[in-house]
Amino acid sequence: MSLASLGILMPLLVGAGPSAPAAEPDPLAAAAPLMGRWVADPDPRTPGASGWMTVERGAGGRALLRRNHAEYPPTKDRAAFTHDDLLLLFSENGQLRADYVDNEGHVIRYLVQTPNASTLVFVSDATAPGPRFRLTYTWPSKDRIDLTFEIAPPGPSTEFKPYIQARLHRGSN
């Protein structure tokens, strides 16, 4: 074989090698619109309350971490208080899940549903002791999120009742 024929075969052999693996789809893509810093809009139902949340990737991109902070002023029935929580969103065996913990001692494990391209619904396990919880995020635009946190009686009940409703707008970093 001549060097000239090797010159023709070499590119063919190099091109015939193993191709790069196809990129895996991002299992957290449905939650990507939540990424960033968000500030709660004032709510006339809770005058003086304020809050914010941040959502960022962690664990090498395999999880999203939401940090949430809310401050509530005193009322005639209670002292002022602050609420802080963390929520870790991840994919396990192809299912979105989230674990929540707060400064009040609550721990909630959620399955996460994506009923459409602009909604995430976090639903707690019906077999866990105590009430059930449902957290819903919808984003009607890239700069706004509507949040509803609901509570239902223990067991398989689907009678969720709103506990917190908030609207957030994209904030500066």
Position 65 in a domain: yes
Query: What CA dihedral angle connects 45, 47, 49 and 54, to 10 degrees?
Result: 60
- Rounded to an integer, the average pLDDT of 40-58 is 93
Position 17 in a domain: no
CATH code of the domain containing 106: 2.40.128.20
Residue pLDDT, tens place only, 82-123: 999 999 999 999 999 999 999 999 999 999 999 999 999 999
* Domain range enclosing 125: 26-170
* The pLDDT value given to residue 46: 86
Task: Decide if 33 contacts 56 (C-beta within 8 A).
Answer: no
Position 6 in a domain: no
Indicate whether 10 pLDDT > 50: no
* The pLDDT value given to residue 128: 82
Domain count for the chain: 1
- Rounded to an integer, the average pLDDT of 154-163 is 86
- Rounded to an integer, the average pLDDT of 132-150 is 96
* The pLDDT value given to residue 2: 53
Query: Coil, strand, or helix at residue 111?
Result: strand
Position 14 in a domain: no
Confidence grade of residue 22 (pLDDT, cut at 50, 70, 90): low
Q: How far is CA 40 from CA 28, 43, 81, in A?
A: 24, 8, 16
